[in-house]
Amino acid sequence: MNKKTIILIIIALIVVCLVSIKNANVVIPKEAIRIRIIANSNTEADKDLKMSVRDEVAKKLYVLLKDAKNLQEARKIINSNLDNLNISVLNDNNQSYKINYGKNYFPKKVYKGIIYEEGNYESLVITLGKGQGDNFWCVLFPPLCLLEGNENTKDVEYQFFIKELLNKYF
User: Could you give phi then psi for residue 147, rounded to 5 degrees?
Assistant: -110, 120
Residue 13: what pLDDT? 66
Containing 143, the helix (H) or strand (E) segment is: none
* Spans of the chain, pLDDT less than 50: 23-25, 147-162, 165-166, 168-170
Residue 108: what pLDDT? 85
**How many Cβ atoms sit within 10 Å of the Cβ of residue 15?**
10
Q: Are 122 and 103 in contact (CB under 8 A)?
A: yes
3-class SS of residue 88? helix
Calculate the CA dihedral of residues 120, 125, 130, 135 and round it to 10 degrees. -80
